[in-house]
Chain A
Amino acid sequence: MSWSRRQVVRRFMVGAAGTMLPIGMHRHVHAITPIKRLILVPTPQQMMPDAWLMRRGGMAHSAFGYELGDVSVSEFSPTLAPLAQHKRRLNIIEGLAQVTAIPSSGEVNAHDASYANLLSAAGVHPTQAKYGVGPSLDQLVAAAIARPDQIPSMTLGPDVYLGGFSHLGQEQRTPSQGSPQQAFYRLFPEARPGTPGANPDVRSRIEASRGKIVDFARREFERVGVGLPSEGRATFASHVTLLRDLERRLSVFSQRANCAAPAETYPESETENRERFHMFARIVAAAMACDRTRVAVIQPRELFAREVGVLMGDVHQDYAHQAHLDNHAAAVMARWNRVYGEYIAYLLDALADYPEGDGTLLDSCLVVWFNEHGLTRAPHTLVEMPVVIAGGSALGLRTGRYISVPRLTPHPQVPESRTGVPHSHLLVSIARIMGLSNTWVGEASHGLAGGGMLDLSGPLAGF
């Protein structure tokens, strides 16, 4: 059965009203210190500039900004129009540059580079661009803000190129959960159906003892790890930490927590891309409302031809790579971007459906829509990056703005050329909003072809 977002939320609110986290309590608690949550949504390929930009009199590639409050829905660009109803909660930013993905010399595959660098700003692996160099922002934030008894972060999305944008560390991608059903059961284990014929009391007692088994395994890892070579020791140390976290989560879940699972079921079978994203959006919203996790990355997979209105072909090869040469291909890619805009709108609506404090769950969430490549019809650009940030007003973020950043930064490979503000600074800003005290995220500085280093410390000015 397929449920609309509002149907689901209504069921959740009505059906679980007696057991879910009391809304009034949320209001009271969050009026003082709202829980901080971060949701990153990186979408693939380039962004068609004509269908995205909303310069409203601002000069191309110049620094300017304006308030979105008085912009009518009809004035929104086609790609961003689905977000218009949330305009007062948005920060739309154009002109950032992934300078850390551009080496001072040599070629790099721009897909590999962005998948490694977009969320980490850690640069590109010296020999294999497809491997990450350092942890991504979601993992940094999760390590800092997750309660020990929570799932620190959820990385969601099936069959994403190279395994996705999230990184645990060097050469370690964060495994991505592709099945909404499995993600749902992970966040709401009490919703997992019991085994037919099994005695529920017995199962419940066994389930309640799982933490003890995890604790036993953890102590064994600690004991065995001592005698291992250094790399193995590090692996086991990491495993020990993960088991300790799991043990805490199991102990909390075994008490059934204080917030009920949404009364929704998710199919075991594969689903269409849009429906799958909608499921992930609803699951993440419900999980954050219940404080089951505070960080999520939702990675939509690349769209099929039929989803962007063409009968056949491989959109990546046949349209994304053609958009700068062919108007039809550019129109197809604009539809591609718009579909992802609709995805984001669905997610924002899902979050906004949960009342919290004086507003909604969206206000204490920072939702960041990153895009793999830049605002150019040509594919594979790592500059002119579009970013949309939604929510965050309860976290102290000023919202309702369109910001075009200055393009005065030296290009890493072309000394005479200037590009936008390094996106590293935005990652620092987000990290600080989330309560971290980072001076930089990823690389502290980046080498330039003409010599010298680009300082990447500090937050994004004017944000």
Chain B
Amino acid sequence: MAPETNPICGATPAAGPALVRRLTRTEYLNSLSELLPGAVSPSTEPLLLTDPAVDGFENQTRAIRPSALQVEAWSDVAAAAAQVALSAGPARVLGCSPEGDQALSCVGTFVSAFGLKAFRRPLTESEKSSYVELYQSLREELDVASSTELLVQAFLQSPQFLYRMELGHAGPTGIRALDSFEIATRLSYLILQSTPDDTLLAAAGASKLTNPDGLQIEIQRMLAKPAAASAFGEFVRQWLELNAVLDRGSHKDPVIYPGWNSELAKAALDDTANFAGFVFRHAQPTLKTLLQSGAGPVDARLIGVHGGVEGSAQRAGVLTRIAFLAANARSVGGSPPLRGATVQRSLLCASPPLPPSDVDRSEPLPSEGVGVTNRARFESRVASSMCKGCHVGMDGIGYGFEHFDAIGQFRTVDNGQPIDARGVLIDTGSTDGPFDGAPALSARLSESPVVNDCFVARFFQYAYGRPASDSDHCALERLQARFVASGGDLVDLIQQIALGPEFGQVAGFEDNAR
């Protein structure tokens, strides 16, 4: 149903909750690099914790709250980054010489300029004074370089840096409209997963982001940045739960896969992120390209596994890259249930049930039958009527990947038998039906209205740091309709989220400060 014909969706768009979102590990590192280029070193990265994933996503507000270890890690990273930044002398960071009569003026200018980037908005006079006073108090005991270093540390531990507070300003309807700087912040983390750059802050300062034309210009500019493609790759990593390649996917039978190791597992993650970036920059940056393209660069470390450098008739899209295939495999063979269930969760927004506790979940090994294929072993395992109910859906998808072994290498025979990669897609609406092989499966999935709608819902969850609620129904419906009309354009989806009426506002809340 088109949104304008849905009577439930009136003229006033629903506003999402006003969340205080802390920066994720990725957002923090990107923001730190933007603030202090070169300050993120190989020794500072391990200090930061990984964020817990909910539904695959590591940016869900309800799951990422402060802890003693987290707070200490931020303090340690701030100290390490500030030390690196100051290693070339304070003038390099301050942009002026903090000596003599000009010292306070120099520091004041730095506090305003650096604060604007760190807080993602201009500092109030009171905030500016408090940071200058901090510097002065430090100077009573320390030299200029040390005081500047500690001043930088203070900015990096500020709530205004560590948390995104897009809270808007109360209006007559109870809905709170975001100001230009808050919109800039939302926009920057949506597209680049980083703090606003100087140009965006300047546009916000000129109030250009509260009018559609000005907003559109900045969206286009940011989408053209290389970091936008990297940020999309980061989304794909989380959406497809690809980190499993570092855990479950990194343990392969060393006799069968002697070359596989944790470094290749990491390379597989990079490879998929680069492929996602390639799709994002493609002339047709669509879900169809993401799911069907056999082109795109292959990570040099994986060429031996992937079997091709650029393009391959055997592979089509992100589901045939090494990361997905190796992550959803066991130590000896690919796992049709794992591969199918991940597709069900990530692309069909389904919730495949866990197997009952008393069933045999061991990997069916080749020793169970000479000349028996991986597929036949799995089919035999789930042949009972008790298993079939669930496995018909997940394995119907998973068998489509049988041309790929446990590390994602292409094969035409398995255990001496020809590969059978035929499957059946169900619960995808008009695209239900049989297919043969992963490229055909991916083609069907990319045409599926269920997949298209699910993709929008998952991206929406990622964009807002929370699952869609009932009040997001109209926004989702509008975005889904547009996504289909655009041919599944990924870049357009991001634009439409940013241009949507709900992007610039939040629901009202009791304001205790006023």
SS class of chain B's interface: helix, strand, loop or mixed?
A: loop
Asked whether, in the complex, the Cβ of A210 is within 8 Å of the Cβ of B75, the reply is yes
Check A227 for interface membership: any CB of B closer than 8 A: yes
Residue-wise interface mask of A (72-94) relative to B, using a CB-CB cutoff of 8 A (1 in contact, 0 not): 00000000000000000000000
Q: How far is the CA of A135 from the CA of B247 in the complex (A)?
A: 27
Check B205 for interface membership: any CB of A closer than 8 A: no
Number of A-B contacts (CB under 8 A): 177
Q: How far is the CA of A179 from the CA of B142 in the complex (A)?
A: 34
Say how far B20's CB is from chain A's closest CB, in angstroms: 3
Contact with B150, one of A206, A225, A250 (Cβ below 8 angstroms): A206
Known: A214-B157, A312-B332. A319 touches B362 (CB 8 A): yes
Known: A227-B511, A319-B362, A321-B362. A206 touches B20 (CB 8 A): no
Q: How far is the CA of A246 from the CA of B75 in the complex (A)?
A: 9
Known: A209-B150, A210-B75, A242-B66. A226 touches B159 (CB 8 A): no
Asked whether, in the complex, the Cβ of B83 is within 8 Å of the Cβ of A380, the reply is no
Q: How many residues of B contact A (CB 8 A)?
A: 68
Task: Please name the residue on chain A nearest to B248 by beta carbon.
Answer: A314
**B 102-150 contacts with A by CB, 8 A:** 130, 134, 137-138, 141-143, 145-146, 149-150
Say how far A101's CB is from chain B's closest CB, in angstroms: 13
Task: Please name the residue on chain A nearest to B262 by beta carbon.
Answer: A270
Asked whether, in the complex, the Cβ of A318 is within 8 Å of the Cβ of B363, the reply is yes
Q: Which residues of B contact A242 (CB under 8 A)?
A: 66-68, 70-71
Say how far B285's CB is from chain A's closest CB, in angstroms: 33
Asked whether, in the complex, the Cβ of A151 is within 8 Å of the Cβ of B247, the reply is no
Q: How far is the CA of A385 from the CA of B263 in the complex (A)?
A: 39
Residue-wise interface mask of A (148-172) relative to B, using a CB-CB cutoff of 8 A (1 in contact, 0 not): 0001110100010001000010011
Say how far B102's CB is from chain A's closest CB, in angstroms: 24
Q: Which of B68, B150, B158 has the most CB of A within 10 A?
A: B68
Q: Which residues of B contact A243 (CB under 8 A)?
A: 71
Q: Which residues of A contact B153 (CB under 8 A)?
A: 210, 213
Check A24 for interface membership: any CB of B closer than 8 A: no
Q: How far is the CA of A455 from the CA of B23 in the complex (A)?
A: 42
Known: A217-B157, A246-B68. A212 touches B138 (CB 8 A): yes
Asked whether, in the complex, the Cβ of A205 is within 8 Å of the Cβ of B141, the reply is yes
Which of A27-35, A63-71, A228-236, A362-370 contacts the other chain? A228-236
Q: Which residues of A contact B357 (CB under 8 A)?
A: 110, 378-380
Q: Which residues of A contact B65 (CB under 8 A)?
A: 168, 172, 235, 238
Known: A212-B138, A246-B75, A318-B362. A168 touches B67 (CB 8 A): yes
Check A432 for interface membership: any CB of B closer than 8 A: no
Known: A212-B150, A317-B362. A175 touches B19 (CB 8 A): no
Q: Which residues of B contact A233 (CB under 8 A)?
A: 512
Binding site for B on A (CB under 8 A): 109-110, 131, 151-153, 155, 159, 163, 168, 171-175, 177, 179, 182, 186, 195, 198, 202, 205-207, 209-210, 212-214, 216-217, 220-221, 224-233, 235-236, 238-239, 242-243, 245-246, 250, 268, 270, 304-305, 311-314, 317-319, 321-322, 325, 329, 378-380
Binding site for A on B (CB under 8 A): 17-20, 22, 46-47, 49, 52, 62-63, 65-72, 75, 78-79, 83, 130, 134, 137-138, 141-143, 145-146, 149-150, 153-154, 157-160, 163, 165, 167, 247-248, 251, 253-256, 262, 330-332, 354, 357-358, 360-363, 365, 509-514
Beyond A216-B130, A313-B253, A317-B361, 6 additional contacts (C-beta under 8 Å) are: A109-B354, A159-B247, A209-B146, A217-B159, A322-B362, A329-B362
A-B contact pairs, 20 of them (CB 8 A): A153-B68, A195-B83, A198-B83, A206-B142, A213-B153, A213-B154, A213-B157, A216-B154, A224-B160, A227-B514, A229-B510, A233-B512, A236-B163, A246-B75, A304-B251, A305-B251, A312-B255, A312-B331, A313-B332, A318-B362
